[in-house]
Chains A and B, each alone.
Chain A
């Protein structure tokens, strides 16, 4: 299956969950101040392990950045 993660298309194993997407991106799921949205809906950290990413989903992985 495929998903668009932060604008870039990625191949993921079938049934991949949010946590698998993070790992595929080299992001530790223990990192503080991280947020994930799948198809525009925020997936709470507590649900990262149990939320499957649909084929063709748009995933956003963000954290705080310098800003005014």
Chain B
């Protein structure tokens, strides 16, 4: 049985496309293409990200696995450090994969892999102008999220923690503020380490979760993909249910009045 509130009913819709799942997966870091194929199937995802690399550095076969899985391919601009590089890579991705969608990454620092906000916004404006559906990977910054939305991005993808760290959501308040700041879908990207992180993202109001290393580097990637899907679903349901207010002091749920041996009424 599926129960949803009116406000949260229906699937995740990005740029008018309804997706079959609120979990998006990456394709990097798997022990083998077979592991990737099984993880895609177990996750129920409708979107998988890929990078674009020179043919000498990109063994064939990945595209066939993704095509067979019947999922939408989301090319990224991973490894780009300037808006110019990211725009060129996005155009190559559009040509190679026949999609206007791009996961826009413009990295500012090799150690942290944090986004370069200035270059990111510049690249987003350029690509939106060229007709791309832009999903920018961004710091969890509500001000920048609003700027990206104003630039015409189809979603924003704040990070929970540095790429590949598996540290979870380090600043949940910032993620919640990003959710409040924009109307476009918010996809938590980077930092997810396990199912509870995915649930937490959804409890904070995120519309979806993109996980990559959490699945690829799990001992059993397919099992973790299934676990993340459950985490996303549980977190979504909890968000819609409306959690109780948290409080520091205890509050009994059993009435004190009428207990045996107590004072008469």
Q: CB within 8 Å of B: which residues of A?
A: 6-7, 25, 27, 31-37, 40, 42, 44-45, 60-68
Contacts and interface: CB of A to CB of B under 8 A. Distances in A.
B78 A68 contact: yes
B28 A60 contact: no
Interface residues of B, number: 41
B27 to A, nearest CB: 5
B75 A64 contact: yes
Contacts, number: 98
A61 B95 CA distance: 11
Contacts of B57: 65
The secondary-structure label for the interface of chain B is mixed
B55 A61 contact: yes
Interface stretch (B3-11, B45-53, B165-173, B248-256): B45-53
A64 B55 contact: no
A67 B91 contact: no
Contact of B29 (A36, A45, A68): A68
A37 B88 contact: yes
Given A65-B58, A68-B76, A60 B213 contact: no
B212 A64 contact: no
B218 interface: no
B223 interface: no
Contacts of B19: none
B55 A67 contact: no
Contact of B52 (A40, A65, A68): A65
Contacts of B174: none
Contacts of A44: 95
A68 B58 contact: no
Nearest to B164: A68
Contact of A67 (B50, B67, B96): B50
Contact of B51 (A27, A34, A37, A67): A67
Give 9 nearest A-B pairs by CB, closest first.
Answer: A67-B51, A68-B212, A68-B26, A35-B96, A65-B58, A65-B53, A35-B95, A64-B50, A33-B63
Contacts of A66: 27-30, 36, 50-51, 62
Interface in B52-72: 52-60, 62-63, 66-67
B58 A62 contact: yes
B213 A6 contact: no
A32 B50 contact: no
Given A6-B54, A7-B54, A25-B55, A63 B95 contact: no
